[in-house]
Amino acid sequence: MSKGAIIAALLGLATVVLVFVVVPGMRDAGYVIRAYVITAVVLASYTWSLANRVYKAEKGMGGKQDVAP
């Protein structure tokens, strides 16, 4: 797992924690919590997946970059 994937997962978790801290006093707290948690999970999963793909692609190239002549 790459550093980028770990950072994406931690940022998603931090977002969820922040929502749980900020929202409880709001009138529509349940709806807001569900919306933010679902959005954070989707975005963190996508970013984590993308970071892993980039890491594997770079690792597969052996650190070489494709340079056009």
Q: How far apart are CA 57 and CA 66, in angstroms?
A: 12
Helical pair 3-22 and 29-60, crossing angle rounded to 10 deg: 170
User: What span, in angstroms and rounded, lies between the C-alpha atoms of 60 and 2?
Assistant: 14
pLDDT tens per residue across span 1-56: 678 778 878 888 888 888 888 888 878 888 888 888 888 888 888 888 888 888 88
Q: Decide: pTM greater than 0.75.
A: no
Secondary structure element (H or E) that encloses residue 56, with its range? helix 29-60
R_g (Cα) of the chain, nearest Å: 17
